[in-house]
Structure 1
């Protein structure tokens, strides 16, 4: 959302404003047509070219800013998935009582992250998911601190603590990146320059008493589309272009598979039975060799 509205609503509002500007500027140019001359038209052409160049520069600048922020959010999500998965694997090395608690909390943490991504723009759901993830972080750190206090800080526990630190750091970066948007001043400047460029185009058409409904309307719609896409890229939890949750869902499936797919090892036979079985196999192989030797000797004698 931007300005409290959905991107699709913003698109239609921007198109409507552009159309109004085009019509008003054309009528103003037609009204001033009798007082214009070649020098005035040449001056307007220079200004129109300069404004269109400035508009192109601002469109590219805003689009690059929005795209870089969108890619940064995607990268942080992937980094978060990686560190959570590493923490889970390292937690499997802990003692059984501590291992069960840590792995269960990590699975709950992944679920809280998925709920946060699915919350969209619902402030209540966002707040609940964020508080849930923070609570789980505190519980994980409390378990690590308790193990340290009880002298259970093994090498595996140290690895888990290091991974928990990475999870916390990536999560803080992600939260900061969620609030890192293209400055509103830059977007508003783009909107004003677009209005000015379209106004000069329509005004010059009015001076020449020539309407170009089709071309100017298409140009205005294209600018409105790019403007809306910039807003959409800048809003990660709304619109058509969002940071996907597929990687986090795959992580959840992997964690569930690892926690429920531990097969019990097949019971090994007693040592005496294994020795007896090996001896029987050896005797049978010796008998086969003797039989083949006797058969070969019989053929040779024949």
Structure 2
């Protein structure tokens, strides 16, 4: 369950990075006024997404969603622009995908976590297992006593790893932001 969500977060990051890059490239097909504004906003959006941390998650989400509104306002202005309707549709579709993928990433990272009752069950089962093993070792004698610390450490390590994966951005196991950094670098090479 937790490992699949880690993979989901990786896939969503890659998809969002690709969508941002595609939207940036398609913005090049727009009239100059919108093109320049949209590309500037997309560069700012990528910067906000890259700088986001657990400590400032609320601020990062607020900035991201405000940039979505500004980008969408630019997309709405294209309706009045004298341009090919297929190009307009291509751009708006890719911008919509950026917004949708942001929402998907937010949902998977913040809402799809291991529920409290499952954590309580894991802790309870681990405790009961350790008590039962301790009792068994006590009854069998000291020859099993040397293996107990290893078993306790193994149980603890598994629980810590599950908790680490379940809390994106808080622990040691993190999704690399490199795909988004690569897209941002591509945008920098094209910036005025």
- TM class, shorter-length: over 0.9
Are 1:152 and 2:88 matched, yes or no? no
Q: How many residues align?
A: 190
Residues 31 and 83, structure 2, Cα contact 8 Å, conserved in 1: no
Are 1:218 and 2:150 matched, yes or no? yes
Which of 177, 184, 187 matches 2:108? 177
CA-to-aligned-CA distance 1:222-265 (integer Å, 9 cap, x gap) = 110011001011111111101111111111101111235xxxxx
Unaligned regions of 5+ residues in structure 1, if any?
A: 1-64, 261-302
Which of 70, 74, 77 matches 1:143? 74
Determine the structure 1 residue equivalent to 2:4.
68
Provide the C-alpha distance between the structure 1 equivalents of 2:106 and 2:40, rounded to a whole number of angstroms: 24
Question: Larger radius of gyration, structure 1 or 2?
Answer: 1
Determine the structure 2 residue equivalent to 1:255.
187
Report the TM-score when normalising by structure 2: 0.93
Paired residue secondary structure (2:24) = helix
Provide the C-alpha distance between the structure 2 equivalents of 1:207 and 1:98, rounded to a whole number of angstroms: 78
Provide the C-alpha distance between the structure 1 equivalents of 2:37 and 2:141, rounded to a whole number of angstroms: 78
Runs (4 or more) in structure 1 with deviation over 6 Å come to none
Determine the structure 2 residue equivalent to 1:27.
none
Shift of 1:198: 1.5
Provide the C-alpha distance between the structure 1 equivalents of 2:10 and 2:78, rounded to a whole number of angstroms: 34
Report the TM-score when normalising by structure 1: 0.60
Residues 16 and 102, structure 2, Cα contact 8 Å, conserved in 1: yes
Determine the structure 2 residue equivalent to 1:193.
125
Show the 5 A alignment for 1:74-89: 74-89=10-25
Paired residue secondary structure (1:127) = helix
Provide the C-alpha distance between the structure 2 equivalents of 1:74 and 1:144, rounded to a whole number of angstroms: 28
Unaligned regions of 5+ residues in structure 2, if any?
A: none
Shift of 1:207: 2.4
